[in-house]
Structure 1
Amino acid sequence: MSQTPTRRIGFLLTPDYALMSAAAAVEPLRAANLLSGKALYELVFLSARGGWLRSSVTGGFETEALAEAQGRLDLLFVVSGGDPMQATDPAVLAWLRRMARQGVPLGGISGGAALLAAAGVLQDRRYTIHWMHVDEMRSLHPEALIERRLFVIDRDRYTCAGGVAPLDMMHALITMEHGADLARAVSDWFIHTGIRQAEAPQQQSVALSLGVTHPALEAMLELMSSHIADPLTLEDLAKLSGVSARQLERLSRAQLGASVMAFYRGLRLDKADEILRHSGMGIDAVAQATGFGERSPFSRAFRRRFGCGPAARRRAGQTRPAT
């Protein structure tokens, strides 16, 4: 019987990467080695300058510098948290482009896809990223094929949303390479029996979080959530939800405590607040991304809801937690 070749999997860590995201990607591969009794995967930890690289908390990994990395990788993941749009080290981006030219399959974990996109190695590839960064990425890369999924595997590109989503992506990877039996054994090892498929949502639905159960309202909320930058009219929402505009208004006031369009405006402003606090997107771009178009009407609406303007809100409360 021929021996199963060991695959070298690289993890390029960026400053303040999320430890949970990194561990959820690394541990299934370690467990696959342990449970199979074979060296299926060799794990290689990399960073721009090498040495000990601290994560979002005290823990971290000892890494090799990119300039000193030896041997070809069979797959490389970029692990990034915080504000990955700011992680634009030219040397790192050039190294990623070189890996792509050499035919190394590439992946992004949490915000890692932002670096791959900045390096220009995601053209014509479907991919995903942590939900916190989706709107800013779509603003920076309007041609991007971004999907709000747990993970996306498109040919030689592997991306996932971060958090515990790498567990699900690695289950799919191990299944493809070594079969479902080993993948299930790894998932059981981590008591991860509720394996999620790639198309599973990254966030709880708005309807579920609000306790809404009426089918028309569920449909309306789904439509609103997917049309933040291009708001629908009341008539469109009602038609697509399968009820009259009058009935939708009645349901909205009874179960949501606001008219349809007032609730919709609030949902868009909440999204604007989220973008302001968790990204560096300009205020004009935030206005566009949340369907307000011009800065002035956006600022007025934002001030009415939050008691301060967008710029003041950003200065007072901007945080970029590791994802």
Structure 2
Amino acid sequence: MEPMIDVDGSHRKRFIFVLLDKFTMLSFSCAIEALRIANRVSGKQLYTWKLAGEGGETTYCSTGTGFKLDMDLEEINRDDIVLICGGIEIQTATTKKLLNWLRREARRGVSVGGLCTASYVMAKAGLLDKKRATIHWENQDSFVEEFEDITLTKSVYTIDGNRITTAGGTSSIDMMLKLIATDHGQDLANLVADQLIYSSIRTDQDQQRLSIPTRIGVRHPKLSRVIQIMEENIEDPISPSVLASDVGMSTRQLERLFRRYLNLSPKRYYMEIRLQKARNLLMQTDMSVINVALACGFTSPSHFSKCYRAHYDTTPYRERGTQGMRASN
């Protein structure tokens, strides 16, 4: 296939959006709208796009809205950019046909990107080996467990050579603005951002999650530091006395701090962080319940099950079974 040339002789870049079953509409729409607006404000057709997917007929996003596809998973131009649009139940959407197609096109030199959870697909296809990548924060725990050799960042997007990954949501805008700026200059990217009412363009150095003070609604440096230490030490939990010592407080002062601002004891808050990670691993990986328990700092499976049930009103085994039923429906 020949590359597309505009009437004025300039090169047009084409994106192939691969829409997976139950993909997230927000990530996709943010990306494609940035391209449309770039064409409009420049007065030129700088970018074109096609919607692709298995079967080449119709696919549905996570809201149930159907999208008519332009093409099946077929050979494309070597200078096209593939953007895989992921969403919920990404493991189920990652089919053998999709993986084989991606590997074949990647061998031909095609640039490949993943929006939202589609970094999982790229990793499964081996396209992120020895690369830096990002994925939606909710999927990071399971991603790290399955793909140990990939350097996972917490950035809103990551570009490593001809591999692009984004964290989902509005991060598609930031990534597209970066590509537009690289192709046609920062002025055009800024014009597109203005049209999108996007007043703060993030870079690949920006973190995808809110800061701890913003998340908990409290600006207390020692409290934020303790919570950060907790989040970084899930597999081997640290005792309240050591946490207090690390920030120059007594255990009693730490207890009062948590009670005052969060209405929880440090021990209880830490437990809820660990249980949230456990739930993510149960829902998103095939790890055994025992291994999930160990990864979240529980040395006894019975203690893990008791704590899980008290918090989520179900057992880890039933949670895993429910997830299996959802995936098969």
Aligned residue number for residue 39 of structure 1: 45
**1:21 aligned to 2:27?**
yes
* Paired-residue identity, %: 35
Deviations 1:227-260 (A, max 9, x none): 3234233344334434344432332233233332
**1:163 aligned to 2:163?**
no
Aligned residue number for residue 48 of structure 1: 54
**1:64 aligned to 2:71?**
yes
Could you tell me which runs of 5 or more consecutive residues in structure 1 were left unpaired when the two chains were aligned. Answer: none
Distance 1:44 1:288, change over 3 A: farther
Instruction: State the secondary structure of the residue aligned to 2:71.
Output: strand
Shift in Å at residue 195 of structure 1?
1.8
1:133 alignment partner AA: N
1:150 alignment partner AA: V
Distance in 2, Cα, partners of 1:309 & 1:208:
32
Aligned residue number for residue 209 of structure 1: 215
Shift in Å at residue 127 of structure 1?
0.4
Shift in Å at residue 316 of structure 1?
5.6
**1:139 aligned to 2:145?**
yes
Instruction: State the secondary structure of the residue aligned to 1:63.
Output: coil
Instruction: State the secondary structure of the residue aligned to 2:83.
Output: strand
Distance in 2, Cα, partners of 1:138 & 1:249:
32
Q: Which moved more, 1:293-302 or 1:89-98?
A: 293-302
Aligned residue number for residue 227 of structure 2: 221
Q: Which has the higher contact order (CA 8 A, sep 6+)?
A: 1
**1:266 aligned to 2:272?**
yes
Distance in 1, Cα, partners of 2:93 & 2:226:
37
Alignment of 1:98-247 (within 5 A): 98-247=104-253
Distance in 2, Cα, partners of 1:236 & 1:172:
43
Instruction: State the secondary structure of the residue aligned to 2:82.
Output: strand
**TM score, norm. by length of structure 2:** 0.87
Q: Which moved more, 1:134-143 or 1:250-259?
A: 250-259
Instruction: State the secondary structure of the residue aligned to 2:272.
Output: helix
Distance in 2, Cα, partners of 1:74 & 1:279:
32
Instruction: State the secondary structure of the residue aligned to 2:106.
Output: helix
2:67 alignment partner AA: G
- In the alignment of these two chains, the number of paired residues is 319
User: Could you tell me whether the CA contact under 8 Å between 1:132 and 1:278 is conserved in 2?
Assistant: no
Please point out which of 83, 86, 91 is paired with 2:89: 83
Shift in Å at residue 129 of structure 1?
0.8
Distance 1:320 1:289, change over 3 A: farther
User: Could you tell me whether the CA contact under 8 Å between 1:132 and 1:275 is conserved in 2?
Assistant: no
Q: Which moved more, 1:253-262 or 1:263-272?
A: 253-262
Distance in 1, Cα, partners of 2:310 & 2:58:
47
User: Could you tell me whether the CA contact under 8 Å between 1:29 and 1:170 is conserved in 2?
Assistant: yes
What's the RMSD between the two structures over aligned residues? Answer: 2.5
Deviations 1:92-143 (A, max 9, x none): 1111111221111211101111011000110111101112211111111122
Distance in 1, Cα, partners of 2:79 & 2:290:
42
2:225 alignment partner AA: A
Distance 1:318 1:272, change over 3 A: farther
User: Could you tell me whether the CA contact under 8 Å between 2:193 and 2:199 is conserved in 1?
Assistant: yes
**TM score, norm. by length of structure 1:** 0.89
2:158 alignment partner AA: V
**1:74 aligned to 2:80?**
yes
